[in-house]
Structure 1
Amino acid sequence: MLDPRKLRLLRELSRRGTIAAVADALTFTASAVSQQLSALEREAGLPLLERTGRTVVLTPAGRVLVEHAEAVLESLERAEAALAATRTGPTGPLRIGAFPTAARALLPRTLAALRRDHPGLEPMISEIDPADVSAALRAGELDVALVHEYDFVPPVVDEGVETVPLLTEPMYLTTRRTLDEARDDPWIVSTPGTLCHTMAVRACHAAGFEPRVVHHIDDFDTVLLMAAAGHGVALVPLLAAANPPVGVTLTALPIERRTLIAFRRGYGAHPALSPLTAALRESTAAATQAGGHG
């Protein structure tokens, strides 16, 4: 009989590429991961890994087993959700990941609604970059997370994660001009490697120019203050632009950011997901009504 815990390690190895990365993500030692994978090979009766020096790759049998592992782990997730549904009302810890804008604009109201309507739930919030959400969900570090997608940027969640849409926001330029008219301005963009950075640079490329980036800032409140002081222009989403400082005039652009609720495949029937989704939608409606721009 194949051990699902070992299958999870094999799946993570197929995604992360090294035993050290798997160990780091799942808080094991590299030696423990190697031992568990060796035990899985004995259970399977076939070599699942090819080791060349420090490099480890999956054999054809290993790749086949990973494909089946996805289905096995999804079924186990569904079973756990079904068991949780037999309890009287949603209870227990609910680990929620969120990017900073959503954490600030949506989660305070969301937590208040959950406390009011479902006091048995124990929500716990962690800020996380959307690019890291899939790994955190697969590792069991989070139950649910808010992620965002931008125009010009491919989705960041993988096939082991399901999503449902929550919010679509317009992006705004922090000046009363078009994107093309801001081509010679200094630009404020997020840290390289983030989705926000990629979106801003590619939006400028689509408009036919390379932005002259002078500041890398991830916090949108700071970005708006820098723009108000005349230190550059930037792109900001609706949730971040609810109360722009004096000196900033926002111009809506035909570029969107989409916020999604993400969770492991099989978790969709968990009794905690429905009340969380309802509370998030209530919070989103309040936040967008307060921060709408024409």
Structure 2
Amino acid sequence: ARILSQVQMAQADIEAQRGRVVGEVRLAGFPTAARGLFPGALAALRAGHPELRVRTTELEPEPGVRAVLRGDADLAIVLDWSNKRAPVPGGLERAHLFDDTADVALPAGHPLAGREAVDLVDFADEEWVSWPEGEFCHDWLMFTLRSQGIEPRIGHFAGEHHTQLA
């Protein structure tokens, strides 16, 4: 009788929540997505759905996908290369959010500084600052430059954008 009573109470609670956004949603995102997308999304969700608890975790793309597969996250914001698509594991779906244009940072006195757009071949002989080997963005840089016939010369490795820019 006690178990049946608890089931009835749970069903009544579910009915009381019908049509409302409540509970918890867990989001994972790579660092720049977490910094650029999460604050606005969290503010909008709090304003529109005050009973929804949102938990975020900063994870690189592959660990983010694994977190969703394990059930540790409900959604992961990941990078997907336009020139080399990331596989989508069974049971998951991909939804395109937007295209992100790559930026190249140059010293103010560099001959290419100030241009509105450049081609990768313009940097064929340049020395690069890159993320550490094995990081998603490093792999993207190497793959993208090599696909243009450019063998990148990596002179410096830094895992933080501020360090790279400095």
Q: Which residue pairs with 1:235 in the alignment?
A: none
1:229-244 to structure 2, matched below 5 A, reads none
Check whether the contact 2:132–2:159 (CA below 8 A) recurs between aligned residues: yes
Q: Which residue pairs with 2:5 in the alignment?
A: none
Distance 1:189 1:157, change over 3 A: farther
1:150 aligns with 2:102: no
Deviations 1:102-138 (A, max 9, x none): 1111111111111100001000010111112222112
Q: How far did residue 156 of structure 1 move?
A: 4.4
Deviations 1:230-282 (A, max 9, x none): xxxxxxxxxxxxxxxxxxxxxxxxxxxxxxxxxxxxxxxxxxxxxxxxxxxxx
SS in 1 for 2:72: coil
Q: Which residue pairs with 1:200 in the alignment?
A: 141
**123, 127, 141: which one aligns with 1:182:** 123
Could you tell me which runs of 5 or more consecutive residues in structure 1 were left unpaired when the two chains were aligned: 1-82, 227-294
Check whether the contact 1:204–1:211 (CA below 8 A) recurs between aligned residues: yes
Tell me the distance in 1 between the aligned counterparts of 2:136 and 2:36: 19
Q: Which residue pairs with 2:38 in the alignment?
A: 107
Deviations 1:11-38 (A, max 9, x none): xxxxxxxxxxxxxxxxxxxxxxxxxxxx
1:189-268 to structure 2, matched below 5 A, reads 189-223=130-164, 225-226=165-166
Q: How far did residue 91 of structure 1 move?
A: 0.7
1:98 aligns with 2:29: yes
Corresponding residue pairs, total: 142
**84, 87, 93: which one aligns with 1:162:** 93
1:19-58 to structure 2, matched below 5 A, reads none
Tell me the distance in 2 between the aligned counterparts of 1:187 and 1:103: 25
TM-score by length of 1: 0.45
Distance 1:152 1:192, change over 3 A: farther
SS in 1 for 2:42: helix
Could you tell me which runs of 5 or more consecutive residues in structure 2 were left unpaired when the two chains were aligned: 1-13, 107-111, 113-117
SS in 1 for 2:79: strand
Q: How far did residue 197 of structure 1 move?
A: 1.1
Check whether the contact 1:186–1:211 (CA below 8 A) recurs between aligned residues: yes
One-letter amino acid of the structure 2 residue matched with residue 202 of structure 1:
F
SS in 2 for 1:89: coil
Q: Which residue pairs with 2:52 in the alignment?
A: 121
Tell me the distance in 2 between the aligned counterparts of 1:160 and 1:221: 37
TM-score by length of 2: 0.76
1:87 aligns with 2:18: yes
Q: How far did residue 153 of structure 1 move?
A: 3.0
Distance 1:131 1:156, change over 3 A: farther
Q: How far did residue 154 of structure 1 move?
A: 3.2
Higher helix share: 1
Check whether the contact 1:95–1:125 (CA below 8 A) recurs between aligned residues: yes
RMSD of aligned alpha carbons? 2.0
Percent identical pairs in the alignment equals 30
Tell me the distance in 1 between the aligned counterparts of 2:20 and 2:155: 52
Check whether the contact 2:65–2:76 (CA below 8 A) recurs between aligned residues: no
Higher strand share: 1
- Larger RCO: Structure 1 or Structure 2 (Cα < 8 Å, ≥ 6 residues apart)? 1
